């Protein structure tokens, strides 16, 4: 962090206040700061950088996710099986850009015209976007350059991990011809003062190498270095205030000591992700705006557009692999790899486990450093392919694995 880090007074009404420092707020804060605009960014979470990230799914979840209690109701599966499970969005400086996968796709022409393309959907308020792909293209160009998206601006694609190799083989066998590792905001080569991907596979836990783009270690420190951006971490915005004309005057928040503060502002930008942004807008209801801050024609929080992920699970009785193929590097293109691991990778990528030979199973056991346990247990071992620490789950197979 630069010596020039800004500190603005609570009664400085000339600042822009941004709530949230993730993909939206973090980038906006830097872009404004670079142009000389004074910005106070309020962030509910703490500050974690690559050295702090934890290469363990559950410990990382506890470190980064928005764990504040939510309620879940209804009879749908999430309410039944995972009541009150926190949403895996990040509460930290850098927001969910620490956790995201990095897939950086452009909308296609028809996706800007959802209503015209698909027709009305009962219970939803599907609309066509009031913008077109052509209007967005210059901004996509800039974003791809900024994020270092592979297969744009002469950046090469990423090599495939074991999951990808399985998928590629299946897709090609099914007749698909355009199969690749796609457009990812993950460095395939050194770029933007960040190193190339090391294929360790813990992208969702925060990239310890900084190869994946995140606002946490790009836009935020660059914005702070201008002297125009003050990031206040552990500061939770609770209410946006306005004057008698309805114009915004500032934001109330709870600071890291639990005290309520009020930061004056000339503009407020709400960038708290899909759940927290509408919550803040609704919580800012006033006599003038009784149903909450007047955006989205009074429909704040009424609907959500989620991305249903497609997941392919291999049905396997293997005691050695938990779930689908693990995301470790499956080929030996850039670094030495030991023979047992190479054998294992080949076997796990392209053969069903139950047909794998006893010899590669022995190789796997040697590679992970012990026999499989019938109980759920975990062991941390050096993964010889990349020399990094990995956590290997050795769980007795169940029908769902
Ligand atoms: C598992 C996963 C994988 C993903 N992969 C991809 C992908 O491959 N490609 C893609 O395009 N998108 C992906 N996304 C989606 C992408 O990460 C989000 O769309 C994006 O980060 C949203 O940006 P945002 O700024 O709205 O919110 P965030 O990045 O979540 O930032 C919101 C910030 O606001 C803070 N905040 C919230 N409320 C308050 C408050 N009241 N006061 C103060 N601070 C507050 C939060 O702590 C957080 O830091 C993924 C998301 C998930 C969960
Ligand atoms: S270095 Fe590891 S964590 Fe970072 S992007 Fe590559 S695979 Fe993901």
State whether 228 and 171 are in the same domain: no
Ligand 1 contacts CB of residue 23 (under 6 A): yes
- In 3D space, the residue among 81, 82, 86 whose CA is nearest the CA of residue 68 turns out to be 86
The half-sphere exposure of 381 on its side-chain side, counting CA atoms within 13 A, is 16
Ligand 1 contacts CB of residue 97 (under 6 A): yes
Ligand 1 contacts CB of residue 278 (under 6 A): no
Ligand 1 contacts CB of residue 144 (under 6 A): no
Ligand 2 contacts CB of residue 201 (under 6 A): yes
Whether 110 is covered by a domain: the verdict is yes
Q: Per mean pLDDT, which range of 53-62, 179-188, 301-310 is the poorest? A: 301-310
CA of 164 to the centre of ligand 2 (A): 14
> What CATH number should be reported for the domain holding residue 268?
3.50.50.60
pTM of the model: 0.81
CA of 23 to the centre of ligand 2 (A): 18
Domain span holding position 81:
1-100+214-310
Q: Per mean pLDDT, which range of 61-75, 138-152, 174-188, 343-357 is the poorest? A: 343-357
Whether 330 is covered by a domain: the verdict is yes
Answer whether residue 182 shows pLDDT above 80: yes
State whether 31 and 75 are in the same domain: yes
CA of 187 to the centre of ligand 2 (A): 9
Beta bridge partners of 41: 18, 231
State whether 186 and 276 are in the same domain: no
CA of 345 to the centre of ligand 1 (A): 33
Whether 182 is covered by a domain: the verdict is yes
Residue where one domain finishes, among candidates 310, 334, 367? 310
Higher pLDDT, 123 or 102: 102
State whether 81 and 109 are in the same domain: no
Q: What does the buried/exposed string (b/e) look like for 3-28 if buried means 16 or more CB atoms within 10 Å of the residue's CB?
A: eeebebeeeeeebbbbbbbbbbbbbb
Nearest CA to ligand 1 atom 2: 100
Nearest CA to ligand 1 atom 41: 237
CA of 207 to the centre of ligand 2 (A): 5
Ligand 2 contacts CB of residue 161 (under 6 A): no
For residues 340 and 358, give the distance between their C-alpha atoms in angstroms, rounded to a whole number.
13
State whether 162 and 244 are in the same domain: no
State whether 114 and 50 are in the same domain: no
Ligand 1 contacts CB of residue 95 (under 6 A): yes
Whether 205 is covered by a domain: the verdict is no
Answer whether residue 369 shows pLDDT above 70: no
Q: Which ligand is nearest to the CA of 54?
A: 2
State whether 119 and 194 are in the same domain: yes
- Residues of the chain with pLDDT > 90, as a percent, come to 56
State whether 242 and 304 are in the same domain: yes
Answer whether residue 280 shows pLDDT above 70: yes
Atom number, ligand 1, closest to the C-alpha of residue 24:
25
- Give the pLDDT score at 71: 77
Number of neighbours of residue 1 by Cβ within 10 angstroms: 10
CA of 307 to the centre of ligand 2 (A): 22
Whether 206 is covered by a domain: the verdict is no
Provide the number of structural domains found in the chain: 3
Nearest CA to ligand 1 atom 27: 273
User: What φ, ψ does residue 90 adopt, rounded to 5°?
Assistant: -95, 140
- Give the pLDDT score at 315: 47
Mean pLDDT of 347-373: 40
Ligand 2 contacts CB of residue 25 (under 6 A): no
Nearest CA to ligand 2 atom 6: 197
State whether 157 and 64 are in the same domain: no
Q: Confidence class of residue 309 from pLDDT cuts 50, 70 and 90? A: low
Residue where one domain finishes, among candidates 141, 174, 199? 199
For residues 393 and 379, give the distance between their C-alpha atoms in angstroms, rounded to a whole number.
7
Q: Per mean pLDDT, which range of 16-25, 316-325, 357-366 is the poorest? A: 316-325
Task: Give how far the C-alpha of residue 225 lies from the chain's centroid of Cα atoms, to the nearest Å.
Answer: 24
For residues 382 and 391, give the distance between their C-alpha atoms in angstroms, rounded to a whole number.
9
Residue where one domain finishes, among candidates 310, 329, 364? 310
Q: Per mean pLDDT, which range of 169-183, 197-211, 348-362, 375-389 is the poorest? A: 375-389
Ligand 2 contacts CB of residue 181 (under 6 A): no
Ligand 1 contacts CB of residue 91 (under 6 A): yes
CA of 100 to the centre of ligand 1 (A): 8
Atom number, ligand 1, closest to the C-alpha of residue 236:
42
Q: What is the gyration radius of the CA atoms in the chain, in angstroms? A: 24
Whether 351 is covered by a domain: the verdict is yes
Task: Choose which residue among 52, 202, 389, 391 to substitute to test ligand 2 binding: the one with the highest number of ligand atoms within 8 A of its C-beta.
Answer: 202
State whether 182 and 232 are in the same domain: no
């Amino acid at each position: 962090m630069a010596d020039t880090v800004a500190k603005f007074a609570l009664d400085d009404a000339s600042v822009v206040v941004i709530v949230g420092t993730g993909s939206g707020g973090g980038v906006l804060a830097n872009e404004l700061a670079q142009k000389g605009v004074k910005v106070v960014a309020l962030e509910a979470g703490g500050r974690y950088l690559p050295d702090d990230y934890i290469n363990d799914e559950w410990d990382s979840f506890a470190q980064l996710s928005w764990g504040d209690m939510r309620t879940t109701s209804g009879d749908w599966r999430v309410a039944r099986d995972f009541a009150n499970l926190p949403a895996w969005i990040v509460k930290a400086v850098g927001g969910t850009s620490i956790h995201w996968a990095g897939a950086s796709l452009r909308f296609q022409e028809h996706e800007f015209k959802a209503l015209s393309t698909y027709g009305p959907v009962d219970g939803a308020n599907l609309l066509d976007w009031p913008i077109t792909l052509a209007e967005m293209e210059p901004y996509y160009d800039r974003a791809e350059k900024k994020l270092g998206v592979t297969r744009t601006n002469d950046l090469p694609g990423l090599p495939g991990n074991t999951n990808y190799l399985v998928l590629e083989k299946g897709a090609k066998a099914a007749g698909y011809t355009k199969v690749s590792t796609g457009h990812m905001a993950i460095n395939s080569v050194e770029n933007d003062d960040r190193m190339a991907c090391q294929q360790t596979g813990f992208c969702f836990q925060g990239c310890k190498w900084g190869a994946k783009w995140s606002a946490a270690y790009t836009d935020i420190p660059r914005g702070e270095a201008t002297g125009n951006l003050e990031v206040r971490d552990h500061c939770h915005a609770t209410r946006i205030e306005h004057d008698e004309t309805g114009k915004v005057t500032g934001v109330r928040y709870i600071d890291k000591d639990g005290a309520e503060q009020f930061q004056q502002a000339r503009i407020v930008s709400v960038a708290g992700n899909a759940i927290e942004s509408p919550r803040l807008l609704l919580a800012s209801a006033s006599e003038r705006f009784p149903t909450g801050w007047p955006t989205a024609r009074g429909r704040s929080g009424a609907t959500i557009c989620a991305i249903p992920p497609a997941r392919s699970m291999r049905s396997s009785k293997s005691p050695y692999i938990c779930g689908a193929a693990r995301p470790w590097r499956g080929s030996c293109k850039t670094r030495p790899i030991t023979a047992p691991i190479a054998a294992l990778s080949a076997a796990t990528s392209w053969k069903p486990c139950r047909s794998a030979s006893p010899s590669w199973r022995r190789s796997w056991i040697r590679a992970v450093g012990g026999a499989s346990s019938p109980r759920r247990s975990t062991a941390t071992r050096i993964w010889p392919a990349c020399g990094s620490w990995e956590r290997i789950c050795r769980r007795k197979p169940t029908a769902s694995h």
